[in-house]
Structure 1
Amino acid sequence: MIKRSSAFKLRAGAALVCAVFLSIGPQARSAEYVAGVRQMTAPTEERDHALSVTVWYPAAQGGEKTMLGDNIFFEGTAAMKDAPIQDGEFPLILLSHGAGLAGSADAMSWIATPLAEEGFIVAAPTHPGNTGRNRSAAETMKLWLRPSDISNTLDAVEVDPSLRAHVKSGQTGLLGLSMGGNTALLVAGARLDSALYASYCDTDDLNASLCEWVRLSGVDLGAADAQTVTRDNTDGRVGFVLAIDPAPADIFAQQGFSNISIPVALVNLGERSEIPATVQASGIADAIPGSTYQVIEKASHASMFAECKPGAAEIAVEEGIEDPICTDGGGESRQLIHTQLIEMVTAAFDAALRPEK
């Protein structure tokens, strides 16, 4: 069981988070800091090797410009590699990425870099087995290990001499996107339902692309130990959680939501009537006391990817990728949707972690 506690005292009430969270819209953004980035590792007892962790932060002058998240499909985001950290203390945002093409910490640079520019330290582990050459359906579906990756990352930040002096005590939140949203809810105190988990990929009705991969890989979700699947992954050091299109959203134990005691914000992307059941978060919001819920109707699940390069959609088809990775809803550009998401996320974490700003 991964359960940690602390004397965390959240200074922002759920009502304040709700007010700011629900009212934010796209605005012009002017960065307060330059974003630095560095790599570190986090020891873990449950994985085969130490976690690779990317850390973005408000930077002082120095470092070398680097592009993170750049590949044949998506544009990268610039930051200053190994620049010194700016003097001062900053709130910490732990970040959990999704699976597949967005299955690495660096793929989240499009949102992590602006958060660093706004005065947050952002630490994101790459969850093993989620993407790249080592992509594994078996590892990806070990959803209970993802929260421990987050806790191990927080452990590593707390003992790193170059970081701990710059992290504000008691001001730690967690942002999760797609499968990372599932992770965020588990860290907040939600529990998986072993029966729903076991039957999740019995058909393609819930998540066709993921479950086809799971079955072709010979993974039997029903073979997982029920006690392990349903274990408590709460980390009491995390005081606020924001989950965007949490996936899978339909394998949680409903009775576990009432035990969540920290503010939780949930977001869905897309037309309300077209949000797939496996990412539908409105029922979760209803079940968690004091949570907030918002829908960005002109976005889509793919809006959590970085901006597409010219020709990326065609290359994806040639590569056998059936999901529309470059398609957003409502006719708005991904750049504009990202602007809205960045402003929304920044406002939510400001309200939760530094309401005095």
Structure 2
Amino acid sequence: MRFLMKIATMLCGVIYPMLTLPHSAAASELVGVREIAAPSKERGGDLAVTIWYPAETGGKPVTLGENAFFVGTDAMLDAPISRGEYPLILLSHGAGLGGTPQAMSWIATPLAKQGFVVAAPTHPGNGGMNRSAAETMKLWLRPTDISATLDTIEQLPLLEKRLVAGRTGILGLSMGGNTALALAGARIDPIRLAGYCDTNALNPSLCEWVRQSGIDLHAMDMELAGRNNRDVRIKFAMVIDPALADVFQTNSFSMVTIPVEIVNLGKPGAIPQTALASGIAKAISKSTYSLIEEASHYSMFGKCKPGAAQLAVSEAIGEPICSDGEGQSRLEIHKRLIAIATQAFNRALKPAL
């Protein structure tokens, strides 16, 4: 598993601004998007939160997640929310190139079209212009970002009488999958996390970045790393290729009582150990596990623009950011992941609707 930190280093000029004018949106299936702030005591400031929701006509057309490499996704900025009540999906993004909520718009927007409100905080330091190896490795702070976001969402005037009580789930991709498991009740093992980059065996790209940044994980204050970050308001978790899946306390998975759906990307034997979650699925009592063999970890990023692979080579990124598995395009893989997520969240959060 690689986190594409070299890409994050050179993307400062291409990721931002994150909202740009797009093609016209389909009036019959509009998705609104808003940016709000969620106070976080643990972070000592506000979190930037992106919200996608079923929308009525209005607002300003925008494209989210577009940059020099990837195609973006259309939405309507500040559009009125459609009448009705919707379950809530909290979304946790990955690190590096996937280190912004907007990078996950390819899956958040279709979920909003299917009748969900999706809310994703920006995990500070995990990507974009303010990336930080030290902050990225503080995995125990990420779940609190989600809980702080939920605190704000529950009081947000925009969503007053628009959320179905008790119908909240979480979707985590890559390092966000680690976050989702923690919110479900799994606990980080501080000793395993401290030793994660002792060699390059687990994650060469990430650990090279950590060392180049002068970070000694053994010297990092991990007093809170092993705490319980479970949020009982979350009733279902979906995890896609959870990054640093191997830093949890193994016995803590038996404490996870909510249903968890886990998806790994790649063929058996080809999935990096640090993202392999088949053992985790076996240890969680209410879990399902599946593979998309035609995919790779890179499949969680946006659809590549023409020439993106060549641009990556010319920029000496050193990562096959446009490479998937064999047999299906990235767009087809995205469609499968969207279908799996839609079915899972419909089943978990809409049974009584």
TM-score by length of 2: 0.91
Q: Could you say which residue in structure 1 is the equivalent of 2:61?
A: 65
Structure 2 counterpart SS, 1:180: helix
Match of 2:75 in 1: 79
**The 10-residue stretch of structure 1 (232-241 or 44-53) with the greater mean CA deviation from structure 2:** 44-53
| 2:149 aligned with 1:136 | no
Query: Is residue 2:244 matched to residue 1:257?
Result: no
Return the alpha-carbon distance in structure 1 between the equivalents of residues 87 and 28 of structure 2: 15
Q: Does 1:244 align with 2:237?
A: no
Match of 1:26 in 2: none
Equivalent-residue separation in structure 2 for 1:62 and 1:338 (angstroms): 28
* Greater mean deviation of Cα atoms: 335-344 or 223-232: 223-232
Distance 2:28 2:193 in 1: 43
Query: Which letter does structure 1 place at the counterpart of 2:87?
Result: P
2:314 is matched with which residue: 295, 318, 328? 318
Query: What CA distance in whole angstroms lies between the structure 2 residues aligned with 1:57 and 1:180?
Result: 21
Separation in 1, partners of 2:327, 2:293:
11
Describe how 1:1-357 pairs up with structure 2 within 5 A.
33-356=29-352
Cα distance in 1 between the residues matched to 2:350 and 2:92 = 21
The answer on whether the counterparts of 2:27 and 2:57 sit within 8 Å (CA) in structure 1 is no
Identical residues among aligned pairs (%): 60
What is the SS of the residue equivalent to 1:227?
Answer: coil
**Distance in structure 2 (CA, Å) of the matches to 1:99 and 1:238:** 23
| Separation in 1, partners of 2:88, 2:261 | 17
**Uncovered stretches (5+) of structure 2, i.e. residues with no partner:** 1-25
CA deviations 1:223-272 (Å, max 9, x no partner) are 23343110110000000000100010111100101011100111100011
Q: How many residues align?
A: 328
Between the aligned partners of 1:64 and 1:48, the Cα distance in structure 2 is: 32
TM-superposed deviation, 1:319: 2.5
Is the contact made by 2:170 and 2:180 (CA closer than 8 Å) also made in structure 1? Answer: yes
CA distance in 2, matches of 1:322, 1:235: 38
Q: TM-score, normalised by structure 1?
A: 0.90
Q: Report 1 or 2 for greater relative contact order, CA contacts < 8 Å, sequence distance ≥ 6.
A: 1
Q: Aligned equivalents of 2:293 and 2:160: distance in 1?
A: 39
Q: Over the residues paired in the alignment, what is the CA RMSD in angstroms?
A: 1.4
Gaps in structure 1 of 5+ consecutive residues? 1-29
Kindly indicate whether the alpha-carbon contact (under 8 Å) linking 2:84 and 2:162 is maintained by their aligned counterparts in 1: yes
CA displacement at 1:59 relative to structure 2:
0.3
Letter in 2 for 1:333: S
